[in-house]
Amino acid sequence: MSVVNITQVQVLDNPTHFSNPYQFEITFECIAPLTADLEWKIIYVGSADSNAHDQELESIMVGPVPIGVNKFIFQADAPRLELIPHNDIVGVTVILITCSYMGREFVRIGYYVNNDYLDEELRANPPENIVYEKLYRNILAEKPRVTRFPINWDNPAEEEMPPVQTEEEVSRGFVNQIPGTVDTMMLG
């Protein structure tokens, strides 16, 4: 059982210009004392072909974490365009929010992001050179993919506990993309 449970993630300033910061209001519950801070990260997936283009946009330590409901706004600058392959700038990608305890990731929340032009003419006839000042992003905030990683909360350095996937999760189509993980729910 997880000691920290994410209860809500609200995507702020969405849709918006591509260069605006990412902003998420994260609400989570802590049900037992923690001896260390939580590490939160925002990661932009630069290309579906390789994680070499992924960018860690922000990493913060949150703590000490009191027992009960906690809330904070997590903000990160937009990704650096020069690190994204040209063919992957416009189109669909993913933004990830991860949380780790004592170096062990226990939850990953992924959102699809559509980077496109608002201008109908630019969408119908995309220019060869991207017009960055007209590029917008829209995070599909209603359909996050939440993956939980079981960890030993008393001693996170120990080998992680084996994941368990319920029949309901399998029937609902939650297929694990990462070995040893369990997609458990979609946040509302």
Query: How does pLDDT run across 61-118, given as a tens digit for each residue?
Result: 999 999 999 999 999 999 999 999 999 999 999 999 999 999 999 999 999 999 999 9
Residue 154 is predicted with a pLDDT of 79
Quote the DSSP letter at residue 93: E
Residue 161 is predicted with a pLDDT of 52
Residue 66 is predicted with a pLDDT of 96
Q: What CATH number is associated with residue 178? A: 2.60.40.1490
Query: CB under 8 Å to 137, separation ≥6 — which residues?
Result: 14, 15, 16, 17, 18, 113, 114, 115
Query: Which residues constitute the domain of residue 21?
Result: 4-185
Classify 159 as helix, strand or coil: coil
pTM summary value: 0.83
Residue 75 is predicted with a pLDDT of 98
How many domains does one find in the chain? 1
